[in-house]
Amino acid sequence: MIKVKKRKILLLPGDGIGPEVIQEVKKVIQWFNSNKSLDFEIDQDLAGGCSFDKHGAPITDEVFYKALECEVVMLGAVGGPKWDNLDFSKKPERALLKLRKELKLFANLRPAICFEQLVDASTLKPEIVSGLDIMIVRELTGGIYFGEPRGIKPIENGERKGVNTHTYTTSEIVRVAKVAFDLAKKRSNKVTSCEKSNVMEAGQLWREEVQELHDKEYKEVELSHMLADNCAMQLLKNPKQFDVIVTDNLFGDMLSDQASMLTGSLGLLPSASLGAKNKDGEMRAMYEPIHGSAPDIAGQGVANPIASILSFAMALRYSLDLDNEADTLEKAVQDVLNDGLRTKDIISEGMKEVSTSVMGDAIISKLQ
């Protein structure tokens, strides 16, 4: 059993704009080390397409073991067109899926918050999104992403058949639902559980187990169930009806992308992938911006580092028990936005366009 080393942070910048945005996170961590006398130990390595190019695998065993012993993994982004035609097992995304699965990071927290300064960046009317603050809790290590059997096999008549399997067990549902209920208690006390119980047995089980857990342990939290397709519609119609949404791996993938665009700014949204606490209270966790590797703008110094920096704020809060420091960092981001600084993705009239590193520096200067 590999022990988790306290305060050890592994940076996995990955591909595309990943290295540029993680560089800014590194500066922020170094600032906390020098100015708050924190002793974060930083390591950095390859995962994704860059690892494939160097080692022929999206993540090497060595890097995987490093991730196992770190308290926090900060991931940038993986993937890009360069690796699109690789065999499934070699694709950059496998690094991500392996880390999620083997580190047992079953609860993926994806906040969708509409920053007041950017209300107009959403494609929805300001009154629909202003003040929006949703937390999507996506199950991350089960369901159709990992179910067996899976594969593509030849069948009769020269045809082929693609197979994936969607399964959930009671304990897989209960542990992620607990995370959602516990979060709701610290927010607006409302959980919406989404599945397709009208067509899928695994969805029916999901609904029953969430309800049973609620009735046993979380009666004080308001729980409602919603079919996932309806949830997709309601997110556009009246997103502010939601507080915490808990859902499976695949629906969570889609609903969180949809929710992110309500905020108008993919470049601002962080995420946390959390495991279970062990008996010593230690927990494995990985934090990453929800945006992808954006190969089209990579290397130009225009990427928005805010999502990554806010992912580190989540790490401060959820892994490192440094709520005050997390607040300070989040406030620094707000201050910089209030000053009118914008990266290219969120620029609007009258605002000042700045590069990735200038944005990082500006946030750090607000920490002083």
Vertex 152, ends 147 and 156: CA angle to 5°?
130
Question: Is 327 annotated as catalytic?
Answer: no
CB atoms within 10 A of CB 98: 17
Q: Among 61, 57, 48, which Cα is nearest to 19's? A: 48
- Which residue has its beta carbon closest to Mg ion? 253
Question: Is 243 annotated as catalytic?
Answer: no
- Which residue has its beta carbon closest to ligand IPM? 93
Q: Which CB sits closer to ligand IPM, 96 or 119?
A: 96
- CA distances to 12, 84, 165, 236, 262 from 123, rounded to whole Å, are 32, 30, 35, 10, 7
Q: Which CB sits closer to ligand IPM, 78 or 124?
A: 78
Taking the complex as a whole, the smallest distance from the CB of residue 167 to Mg ion amounts, in Å, to: 20
Taking the complex as a whole, the smallest distance from the CB of residue 254 to Mg ion amounts, in Å, to: 7
Report how far residue 115's alpha carbon sits from residue 121's, in angstroms, rounded to the nearest whole number: 10
Q: Which CB sits closer to ligand IPM, 34 or 85?
A: 85
Q: Give me the phi and psi of 123, to 5 degrees please.
A: -80, -10
Report how far residue 238's alpha carbon sits from residue 281's, in angstroms, rounded to the nearest whole number: 38
Q: Which CB sits closer to Mg ion, 28 or 99?
A: 99
Taking the complex as a whole, the smallest distance from the CB of residue 105 to ligand IPM amounts, in Å, to: 11
C-beta separation of 303 from 289 below 8 A = no
From the list Mg ion, ligand IPM, none, partner contacted by residue 93 (C-beta under 5 to 8 A by kind): ligand IPM
Among 243, 248, 253, 345, the active-site one is 253
Q: Among 16, 57, 1, 8, which Cα is nearest to 297's? A: 16
Taking the complex as a whole, the smallest distance from the CB of residue 97 to Mg ion amounts, in Å, to: 12
Report how far residue 284's alpha carbon sits from residue 294's, in angstroms, rounded to the nearest whole number: 27
Question: Is 257 annotated as catalytic?
Answer: yes
Q: Per CB under 5 A, does 15 bind Mg ion?
A: no
From the list ligand IPM, Mg ion, none, partner contacted by residue 96 (C-beta under 5 to 8 A by kind): ligand IPM
Q: Which CB sits closer to Mg ion, 139 or 253?
A: 253
Q: Which residues bind ligand IPM (CB under 6 A)?
A: 93, 96, 253
Among 53, 229, 321, 323, the active-site one is 229
From the list Mg ion, ligand IPM, none, partner contacted by residue 15 (C-beta under 5 to 8 A by kind): none
- Binding positions for Mg ion, 236-255, rule CB under 5 A: 253
Among 196, 287, 318, 345, the active-site one is 196
From the list Mg ion, ligand IPM, none, partner contacted by residue 217 (C-beta under 5 to 8 A by kind): none
Taking the complex as a whole, the smallest distance from the CB of residue 216 to ligand IPM amounts, in Å, to: 30
- Give residue 312's identity as a one-letter amino acid code: F
Report how far residue 319's alpha carbon sits from residue 9's, in angstroms, rounded to the nearest whole number: 11
Among 26, 91, 145, 248, the active-site one is 145
Report how far residue 62's alpha carbon sits from residue 45's, in angstroms, rounded to the nearest whole number: 10
Structure-block tokens of residue 239 = 């997103």
Residue appearing with tokens 């159709």: 144
Among 43, 45, 133, 257, the active-site one is 257
Question: Is 45 annotated as catalytic?
Answer: no
Q: Give me the phi and psi of 200, to 5 degrees please.
A: -125, 130
Question: How many Å from the N-terminal Cα to the C-terminal Cα in the chain?
Answer: 40
Q: Which CB sits closer to Mg ion, 209 or 253?
A: 253
Report how far residue 115's alpha carbon sits from residue 263's, in angstroms, rounded to the nearest whole number: 7
Q: Which CB sits closer to Mg ion, 94 or 214?
A: 94
Taking the complex as a whole, the smallest distance from the CB of residue 60 to ligand IPM amounts, in Å, to: 19
Question: Is 253 annotated as catalytic?
Answer: yes
Query: What single string gives the DSSP state of each residue in 292-323?
Result: ---GGGTTTT----HHHHHHHHHHHHHTS--H
Taking the complex as a whole, the smallest distance from the CB of residue 51 to ligand IPM amounts, in Å, to: 15
DSSP state of 351: P
The set of catalytic residues is: 145, 196, 229, 253, 257
Residues forming contacts to Mg ion in the complex (CB under 5 A) are 253
